Amino acid sequence: MFNLRNLRLMLSNLPGWRTNRHILVFESDDWGSIRMPSKETFNSLVNKGLPLSLGDSGPYNLYDTVANPEDLSGLFEVLSNVKDHYGNPCAFTAISVAANPDFERIKNGDFENYYYEPFTVTLRRYYGNNDSFELWKEGIRNKLFVPQFHGREHLNVSEWMRALKRGDRETHLAFEHGMWGFPNKPYNGSSVSYQAAFDFYDPEDLAVHDKIIADGLNLFESIFGYRAVFFVPPNGYLHDSLYKAASENGIRYLFASRFHSTPAGYGKINKSIHFIGQRNKLGQRFIIRNCFFEPCMKGKDWVNSCLNDIDMAFRWNKPAIISSHRVNYIGALDPGNRENGLSQLKQLLKEVVSRWPDVEFMTSAELGDLIQKSN
**Alpha-carbon distance 373 to 367, whole Å?**
10
Residue 2 has pLDDT above 70, yes or no: no
Half-sphere exposure of 65 (CA within 13 A, CB side): 28
Residue 11 has pLDDT above 70, yes or no: no
Provide the sign of the torsion angle of the four alpha carbons 115, 138, 63, 229, taken in this order: positive
Q: Where are the beta strands (DSSP E) in 4-160?
A: 23-31, 92-96, 99-101, 116-118, 145-149
- What are the tens digits of pLDDT across the range 87-142? 999 999 999 999 999 999 999 999 999 999 999 999 999 998 777 899 999 999 99
**Alpha-carbon distance 155 to 58, whole Å?**
18
| Mean pLDDT across 343-355 | 98
Which segment of 1-15, 63-77, 146-160, 191-205 scores lowest on mean pLDDT?
1-15
Q: Are 197 and 234 in contact (CB under 8 A)?
A: yes
- Position 3 scores a pLDDT of 67
| Mean pLDDT across 180-196 | 95
- Position 57 scores a pLDDT of 76
Superfamily for the 4-374 domain:
Glycoside hydrolase/deacetylase (3.20.20.370)
Share of the chain above pLDDT 70, in %: 96
CA 243 to mean position of chain CA atoms: 18
- Position 1 scores a pLDDT of 53
- Position 9 scores a pLDDT of 64
Beta-carbon contacts of 53 under 8 Å, excluding residues fewer than 6 positions away, are 46, 61, 62
**Alpha-carbon distance 276 to 257, whole Å?**
10
Q: What is the average pLDDT value for the chain, to the nearest integer?
A: 95
For the chain, domain boundaries? 4-374
**Alpha-carbon distance 238 to 358, whole Å?**
36
**Alpha-carbon distance 259 to 244, whole Å?**
22
Which of 266, 312, 331 minimizes the C-alpha distance to 71? 331
- Position 110 scores a pLDDT of 98
Structure-derived torsion over alpha carbons of residues 265, 271, 274, 279, reported in degrees to the nearest 10: -50
Residue 212 has pLDDT above 80, yes or no: yes
Which of 338, 319, 289, 345 minimizes the C-alpha distance to 29? 289
Residue 34 has pLDDT above 80, yes or no: yes
SS3 track for 69-83: HHHHHHHHHHHHCCE
If you ran DSSP here, which 8-state letter would residue 234 be given?
Answer: G
Query: For strand 360-362 and strand 268-273, is the pairing parallel, antiparallel, or unpaired?
Result: unpaired
| Mean pLDDT across 291-316 | 97
